[in-house]
């Protein structure tokens, strides 16, 4: 098979098959949805598989798992590694699955577990019950008593400018309350970008929006990525819990197979695949903490745990050469904090 490099963000990959079709077939990682957004993506293809990455002068930063069948991953990742090393570029794979991490180890990468991602199996999930669900129930019931109501909006049907304006107003109030700069890259909150693949939920009290959640569809999973969540600083206590549980219940009722939240950084950090992780961890742990401080993932992780996910999926960084070079670490940080 012939490998091909493409320098921009193409509508089609090198073999003529659409990149969006690849996402629909192979985009099982929730963060793969972000490849649909505008960024200086580059792609490397081998047969039916594609690696999507961002390039710096001395590094290639791969965004989430390569888009390919599981059986094709070793050949695709190996060919990509050889191509980048021939250009004297270090490689960092960002936020990849355990399957990709194990394959990377076999190919000479070092691997570091950086957190876990909550997954809701909507065939079996239910709102939290029993003693463990006390905090959730108190919060959701409090929001109901305060008069919080949830409305759903599907932009792929009929665009409702008034509803979208309400959501964007909540987003603006959330941004105004931040004590840190928000990302201006493809990681920024974009509740109506790729609108045909979104479902958006809004929590209102007394007719005023207080919190919003935009969910992005993952065709390869028949699942949803709970992508953008934001709340006004004066939102009622429990509005977040009621909003998120309502969204999960409605996705479930409409036949979705599952849903995922954002990764909780450092969760399960002690459970590493790679014996070299202790050394690599010392090098990148401070960088992870810096990103976590900026985006407040720790606070979101506490919300996520309240909803009793069905399981937690490990997520990893992988480096080639195995001892990560400063250029690769700096390039990865630029991607995450742009």
Please, which pLDDT band fits residue 330 given cuts at 50, 70 and 90? confident
**Is the pLDDT score of 280 beyond 70?**
no
149 backbone dihedrals φ, ψ, rounded to 5°: -125, 150
Q: What is the pTM of this model?
A: 0.89
Do 265 and 297 touch, CB atoms closer than 8 A?
A: yes
Do 50 and 67 touch, CB atoms closer than 8 A?
A: yes
Weakest mean pLDDT among 38-47, 139-148, 259-268:
259-268
Residue range 185-197, pLDDT digits in tens? 898 999 999 999 9
What pLDDT does 249 receive? 96
Do 65 and 28 touch, CB atoms closer than 8 A?
A: yes
Do 93 and 316 touch, CB atoms closer than 8 A?
A: yes
The average pLDDT across 251-257 equals: 97
Weakest mean pLDDT among 76-80, 107-111, 131-135, 237-241:
131-135
**Is the pLDDT score of 113 beyond 60?**
yes
What pLDDT does 271 receive? 82
What pLDDT does 164 receive? 97
Which residue intervals of 134-238 are DSSP H helices?
134-145, 161-177
Please, which pLDDT band fits residue 297 given cuts at 50, 70 and 90? low
Domains recognised in the chain with CATH numbers: 3-118+264-296+311-337 (3.40.630), 124-256 (3.40.630.30)
């Amino acid at each position: 098979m012939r490998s091909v490099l493409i320098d921009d963000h193409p509508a089609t990959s090198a073999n003529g098959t659409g990149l969006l079709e690849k996402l629909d077939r192979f985009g099982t990682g929730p963060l793969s949805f972000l490849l649909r957004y505008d960024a200086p993506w580059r792609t490397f293809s081998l047969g039916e598989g594609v690696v999507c990455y961002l390039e710096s002068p001395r590094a290639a930063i791969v965004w989430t798992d390569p888009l390919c069948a599981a059986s094709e991953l070793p050949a695709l990742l190996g060919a990509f590694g050889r191509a980048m090393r021939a250009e004297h570029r270090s490689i960092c794979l960002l936020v990849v699955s355990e399957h990709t991490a194990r394959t990377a180890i076999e190919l000479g990468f070092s691997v570091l577990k950086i957190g876990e991602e909550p997954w809701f199996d909507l065939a079996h999930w239910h709102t939290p019950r029993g003693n463990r669900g006390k905090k959730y129930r108190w919060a959701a019931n409090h929001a109901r008593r305060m008069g919080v109501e949830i409305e759903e909006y599907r932009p792929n049907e009929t665009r409702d400018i008034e509803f979208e304006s309400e959501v964007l107003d909540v987003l603006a109030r959330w941004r105004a309350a931040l004590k840190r700069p928000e990302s201006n890259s493809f990681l920024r909150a974009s509740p109506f970008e790729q609108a045909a693949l979104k479902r958006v939920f809004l929590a209102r009290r007394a007719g005023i929006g207080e919190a919003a959640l935009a969910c992005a569809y993952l065709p390869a999973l028949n699942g949803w990525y709970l992508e953008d969540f934001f709340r006004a600083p004066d939102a009622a206590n429990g509005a977040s819990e009621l909003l998120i549980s309502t969204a999960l219940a409605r996705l479930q009722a409409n036949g979705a197979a599952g849903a995922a939240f954002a990764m909780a950084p450092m969760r399960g950090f002690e459970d590493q695949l790679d014996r070299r992780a202790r050394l690599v961890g010392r090098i990148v742990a401070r960088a992870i903490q810096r990103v976590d401080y900026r985006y407040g993932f720790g606070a979101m992780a506490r919300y996520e745990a309240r909803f009793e996910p069905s399981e937690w999926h490990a997520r990893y960084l992988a480096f080639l050469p195995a001892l990560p070079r400063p250029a690769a670490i700096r390039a990865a940080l630029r991607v995450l904090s742009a």
